[in-house]
């Protein structure tokens, strides 16, 4: 039987260096166990629900260098693995973020993975099953991922369509967690911490967000994100009148339709008084 290599000891991290994250369930423990067992992780959930913050928090907590890639429809495998570049008249190989994460035993986070080009799956597949290898055709290397290396990917299911969807063979390589907005009291605490506005003043903003979330799919495409509530609270903490902050940070970002905007403003007046 092959000896299982020991995982690197967790470096002691001062709390101040860890981005704040309030859990909605057992996701921190799950992340840690997935990392220990070398399983890739997929996070899905609406915009502004804490996916990116969660990954930053866990990377810091586990002492892993974090390599974040915002995927877009032009993102190719070479953008992740690396390419030969001309430097001072010479061609040199430059590692991409995925290759760096493998070499350094870090955490590679691919945000909005569904946006990436299809050839990205080709490099992800051997890395996200039990082989854990990254073949670099261009340099002839075959990198074996060290035990501490991990891949996390995320996407927003609301933006999916038939053309942009993960293939089952990709999807079934990941342990998956669904994200949603925090329960009321915890969301109030998060927004207060993030913005510096006291909880009493934050509560009506969270209540408004929760009310507007019930309109998702009718008048608005996506519910109000926690991010927008943090924006509104931050503007109020900076001295902007509440009504203006709510208009600029919560209502305007939700819609371009004048009628819908007027309807949302009506709801805001009713909730905020
Ligand atoms: N659970 C949480 N703990 C702490 N802060 C949170 C939490 N959820 C949301 N936030 C706050 O909301 C902001 C947005 O969260 P984040 O950027 O992680 O969302 P996301 O799910 O990655 O969104 P997107 O899909 O748009 O990238 C954070 O910067 C943070 O201020
Ligand atoms: Mg994000």
Tokens at 236, concatenated = 């109020």
CATH of domain 15-178: 3.40.50.300
Instruction: Count, in order, helices (H) and strands (E) of the chain.
Output: 11, 9
pTM of the model: 0.89
What does DSSP say about strands 66-70 and 107-111: parallel, antiparallel, or unpaired? parallel
Residue among 41, 46, 50, 71 whose CB has most ligand 1 atoms within 8 A, to mutate: 50
What pLDDT, on a 0 to 100 scale, did the predictor assign at position 8?
A: 55
What pLDDT, on a 0 to 100 scale, did the predictor assign at position 125?
A: 94
Length of the chain equals 273
Ligand nearest to the CA of 156: 1
- Binding site membership of 206 for ligand 1 (Cβ less than 6 Å): no
Contact 126, 134 (CB under 8 A): yes
**What's the per-residue H, E or C state across 38-49?**
CCCEEEECCCCC
- Binding site membership of 31 for ligand 1 (Cβ less than 6 Å): no
What pLDDT, on a 0 to 100 scale, did the predictor assign at position 1?
A: 43
> For residue 189, which of 165, 211, 208, 205 has the smallest C-alpha distance?
205
Please give the chain's pLDDT, 273 residues, in tens. Answer: 445 555 555 555 445 589 999 999 999 999 999 999 999 999 999 889 999 999 999 999 999 999 999 999 899 999 999 999 998 899 999 999 999 999 999 999 999 988 888 889 989 999 999 999 999 988 999 999 999 999 999 988 876 665 567 888 998 999 999 999 999 999 999 999 999 999 999 999 999 999 999 988 777 888 899 999 999 999 999 999 999 999 999 999 999 999 999 999 999 999 998
Collect residues with CB below 5 Å from ion ligand 2: 51-52
- Binding site membership of 145 for ligand 1 (Cβ less than 6 Å): no
Taking only Cα atoms into account, the Rg of the chain, rounded to an integer number of angstroms, comes to 21
Distance 52 CA to ligand 2 centre (A): 4
Contact 184, 229 (CB under 8 A): no
Residue among 46, 48, 233 whose CB has most ligand 1 atoms within 8 A, to mutate: 48
- Whole-Å CA distances, 86 to 82, 89, 96, 98, 147: 13, 6, 15, 21, 33
Ligand nearest to the CA of 55: 1
What pLDDT, on a 0 to 100 scale, did the predictor assign at position 163?
A: 57
Ligand nearest to the CA of 47: 1
- Binding site membership of 226 for ligand 1 (Cβ less than 6 Å): yes
| Helix 226-237 and helix 199-213, axial crossing angle in degrees, nearest 10 | 140
Q: How many CA atoms lie within 13 A of 84 on its CB side?
A: 9
- Binding site membership of 187 for ligand 1 (Cβ less than 6 Å): no
**210 CB contacts (<8 Å, ≥6 apart)?**
181, 184
Q: Indicate the domain borders of the chain.
A: 15-178, 184-272
Q: What is the DSSP letter of 227?
A: H
């Amino acid at each position: 039987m092959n000896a299982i290599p020991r995982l690197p000891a967790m470096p002691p991290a001062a709390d101040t260096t860890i981005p704040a994250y309030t859990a909605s369930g057992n996701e921190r423990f799950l992340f840690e166990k997935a990392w220990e067992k070398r399983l890739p992780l997929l996070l899905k959930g609406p915009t502004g629900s804490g996916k990116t913050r969660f990954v930053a928090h866990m990377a810091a907590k586990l002492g892993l260098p974090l390599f974040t890639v915002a995927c877009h429809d032009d993102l190719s495998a070479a953008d992740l693995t690396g390419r030969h570049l001309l430097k001072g008249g010479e061609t040199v190989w430059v590692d991409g973020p995925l290759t760096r994460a493998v070499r350094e035993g870090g955490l590679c986070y691919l945000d909005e993975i569904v946006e990436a080009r299809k050839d990205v799956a080709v490099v992800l597949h051997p890395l996200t099953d039990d082989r854990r290898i990254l073949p670099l055709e261009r340099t002839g290397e075959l990198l074996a991922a060290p035990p501490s290396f991990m891949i996390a990917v995320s996407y927003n299911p609301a933006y999916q369509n038939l053309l942009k969807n993960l293939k089952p063979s990709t999807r079934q390589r990941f342990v998956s967690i669904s994200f949603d907005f925090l329960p009321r009291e915890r969301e109030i605490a998060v927004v207060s911490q993030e913005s510096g506005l006291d909880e009493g003043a934050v509560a009506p903003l969270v209540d408004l967000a929760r009310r507007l979330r019930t309109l998702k799919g009718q008048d608005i495409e996506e519910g109000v994100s926690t991010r927008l509530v943090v924006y509104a609270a931050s503007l109020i903490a900076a001295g902007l009148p509440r009504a203006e902050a709510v208009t600029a940070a919560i209502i305007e970002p939700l819609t371009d339709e004048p009628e819908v905007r007027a309807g949302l403003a009506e709801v805001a007046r009713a909730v905020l008084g």
